[in-house]
Structure 1
Amino acid sequence: MNWIASLPMYNVTPVLASHWRALLADTLRVAAPGARIEDRGSDLYGLWRDDRLLLAQTCGYPLMHSLAGAVQVVATPHFDAPGCDGLSYRSVLVVRVDAPYPSLEACRGARAAFNQDDSNSGMNLFRHAVAPLARGGRFFGSVLQTGSHLASLQALAEGRADVTAIDCVTFAFVQDGLPALAAAVRGIGWTAPAPGLPLVAARTVPAALIESLRGALDIALQADPDRARALHLKGFSVPPAHAYDRIVTLEQEAEGAGYPHLA
């Protein structure tokens, strides 16, 4: 099999993209020297559904929905960013730095931004946080889909939206590498926790190779401590079999509260 791999999810800046690519290259050098790093651009589902996929990162929401049965979890990264705890992470509830909103509850009638419908951090966790506050299935004055966390933050900074939910790892990377954007916004709270973005492989990848990947990830992490610090990366673990069921539970809780969509 001509295996392919890619780690596109946290490429917040070009420097971070180069660090993730180097980490991946070191991992493949140990576990699968013949594998090729492939950039699919915005075609993430094409990458995730490729039978040749040896290693990539996806979001927990598609893992539990559109990718169910198509991929297997290799490991979940542990980050040292604020909001992370072991394999879990949260989203930061964010407003403009000068916005008159001290809390999510104060955002009733405001303009919300979110990245995309299949995002756990930008949509599902946000929806779950808003659900207890909604009335008749509505809370916001309007909702804007932006396409990415960075675009959601930019919408706040430019005054096109008032509040959003940002993956706390992404938010830490923005604070590290995009100081002007970070200075234009501020956090007002946190969502509930959920398992972080998993590293996955196609179902076609043999169990022995999955085990080799897990060992190779640890070796690659330890090979460059400065790179690990830049990536806020502490380690990896293999999550329990049903760990990601929590994402569906959070979805069901929002729906049970009469709030199936951000609105």
Structure 2
Amino acid sequence: MSRWIAALPMYNVTPQHDALWRALLRDTLAAFSQSGGPREVDLPAAIPDDLLTLWRRPDLLLSQTCGFPYRMLGVADSVNLLATPAFDAEGCEGGFYRSTIVVSARAWDTGAVSLAACRGLRAACNGQDSHSGMNALRHAVAPLARDGRFFSSVAWVGSHLNALRALSAGEAEVAAIDCVTLAYVRDALPERLRDIRSIGMSAAAPGLPFIASRNLPDQQAALLRDALDTACAADSQRARTLRLRGFVRLAAADYARIERYADEARALGYPELR
């Protein structure tokens, strides 16, 4: 491979978070180059719109994907699982995380204080390929659905921040938000949560994995894992702001839990979030 590419498209909740993740990426690549990795790696100034294409690139040195496309959309067939971040956030334990189920303050005030009480409300969801926003919520709702339906409507809004905005603007009443994203919002954008109430959490799932193309030799993949650890430890203030405890080594098979949640929802007659 003549030239590699690296990009971290997840958890860039604010410009500060984006800058810190980019700095961690640069430090990782620097540590990797010192142990024999490539010295020149392309770092796109902007994250590509087509993330599935990015994650499947044969020259992908390092990126982070969501567990749903990794397990359910075939990304795992093209990549090596390097590591999974462990975060210091409510809902996280080791390399596992949960989604926080939230409602608008208006819905809370009118009785939506549990997921069961959200029947017939409008949901906002970041995307159909998201575990945290869609799959986790579908799994939580499935035992409560009737004839394959629970919400009056579902709006696909493109991001967790947009889902929170939709709740605050009165365009929807309920959403599931990745607990790491929610912690970042609470830290940096607390005003976005003024009209938001938490009513529960989803089942735990393995966190968003860091990946590399299978064209990266196994020996170099092991060194890249070590470089992630080195970069995390290099700046304690950065790690605190990112709520990053470190990286754990999960097995690819651990991500079968995400598929199991989808299967359990289907078995209960709830194959789609609706």
Q: TM-score, normalised by structure 2?
A: 0.94
- 1:72-151 to 2 correspondence within 5 Å? 72-99=80-107, 100=110, 101-151=112-162
Displacement of 1:36 in angstroms is: 2.2
SS at match of 2:254: coil
SS at match of 1:200: strand
- The amino acid of 1:223's aligned partner reads A
The partner residue of 2:41 within 35, 39, 42 is: 35
Displacement of 1:133 in angstroms is: 0.2
SS at match of 2:184: helix
Corresponding residue of 1:56: 63
Counterparts of 1:28 and 1:121, CA distance in 2: 28
The worse-fitting range, judged by mean Cα deviation, of 28-37 and 83-92 is 28-37
Displacement of 1:153 in angstroms is: 0.7
Counterparts of 1:22 and 1:241, CA distance in 2: 27
Displacement of 1:88 in angstroms is: 0.5
Deviating beyond 4 angstroms after TM superposition, the runs of 4 or more aligned structure 1 residues are none
- The amino acid of 2:114's aligned partner reads S
SS at match of 1:41: coil
Corresponding residue of 2:167: 156
Q: TM-score, normalised by structure 1?
A: 0.98
User: Percent of aligned positions with the same letter in both sequences?
Assistant: 53
* 1:65 corresponds to 2:72: yes
- The amino acid of 2:56's aligned partner reads R
Corresponding residue of 1:225: 236
Aligned residue pair count: 263
Counterparts of 1:68 and 1:198, CA distance in 2: 10
- The amino acid of 1:3's aligned partner reads W
Displacement of 1:122 in angstroms is: 0.4
Displacement of 1:71 in angstroms is: 1.4
Contact 1:40 1:47 in 2 (8 A): no
Counterparts of 2:87 and 2:127, CA distance in 1: 23
Counterparts of 1:51 and 1:70, CA distance in 2: 8
Counterparts of 2:120 and 2:72, CA distance in 1: 30
Displacement of 1:46 in angstroms is: 2.2
Contact 1:90 1:192 in 2 (8 A): yes
Corresponding residue of 2:271: 260
Structure 2 unmatched ranges of 5 or more: none
Contact 2:81 2:252 in 1 (8 A): no
Displacement of 1:65 in angstroms is: 2.1
Corresponding residue of 1:10: 11
